[in-house]
Structure 1
Amino acid sequence: MPTGVAIRDVREQLFSAAERILLRDGPNALTSRALTTEAGCAKGVLHRHFADFDAFLAEFVLDRVHRMDSQAAALRDAAGTGTIAGNLTEALTSLFGSVAVAVVALITFRDGLRDRLRQTWPAGVPVLTEAATMIAGYLAAERGLGRLAPEADVETLAPTLIGAGHLLFADRKGTPPEPGAVEKMVTTVLGGAARDARP
């Protein structure tokens, strides 16, 4: 039985295969058979490392959520540079242009996965709640710098931006929205709260 690095490599191989299937074919296509075929391994490999398929999916979702940490750090570092609307447009486009939209659909689609996630993630949809936290942190930083109105309610603005952004990108098979459409949505949601200088 593989141990140490070998296990990590198998897990990453399976996670990468799951992401490819989700991006290419959508959540309905992500089955244990499709996964092991895509990963090029025997079905027994999956069951050696995970209790069942929903356990695998839960770990996959949480792994993808933790990968958002670098995005959150980059967005926080952008505070005070560029424009707030431009920074948020870039962050939302990056977020929803990734596997995030398909992961949200996967969580919605599978009751067993939602039940499994509740054990470690008690409220909300992991990808969306983490994204809202990321946006709220950025907006709070901009408010601290005086580029966002002091009365701006970042805890309301952040989930509103995530929800509106998700709706723009939700059609997985359609053409992604143009950056201008995303920025228009961001500007509308922020209203007069943004006080940053325009280029």
Structure 2
Amino acid sequence: MPRLVIAICAGMVAAGLLAGFARVMEAAAPRGVPQAPVLALTETVEARPTDTPLPTDTPLPTETPPPTTPPTTPPPTTPPTTPPPTTPPETPPPTTPPTTPPPTTPPETPPPTTPPETPVQEQQQTATPTEMVVSTATPTLTPTPTAPVPATLPTTGAPAAGGAPLIVLLLALMAMVGGLLARRRTA
């Protein structure tokens, strides 16, 4: 049995080497020279028996074959000339985007009118000197930027809960494959 395996392997290696050698020789052959057909090299000449034997005392006339002329080789073919590389068409210069007009400022709103002053009572005049003076102009309201509150996810068990079913599924699959392999080995 081992000899059969060795013989098969040796045959495969020999076939691979022969195929590789044939490819190398085919690639090395010049392309312009016509190759002789393979059948002409392997033909056998049949000897035809003669009907009457010729007397041995007379020399046989030998026919001289006509001289064979070697096949004329075609002139070497010149590779086709490649056209000069074409230059790509010129690209137009990049256009600048139109300038946008500066943003217009909203018209200023007139300050709100203050109500006419009411006569001050005497009680207010006798107030303590630490009393603050209230301005009558209304302050302009500017929107205060509010920072977005990052959403916090619960960190206790969130990654483990997402990957746990996948791990259990992989473990079950591995156990099934192991059981099938064990059955095949015992059978």
Query: Higher RCO, 1 or 2 (CA under 8 Å, sep at least 6)?
Result: 1
Q: TM-score under structure 2 normalisation?
A: 0.21
Q: TM-score under structure 1 normalisation?
A: 0.20
Structure index of larger Rg? 2
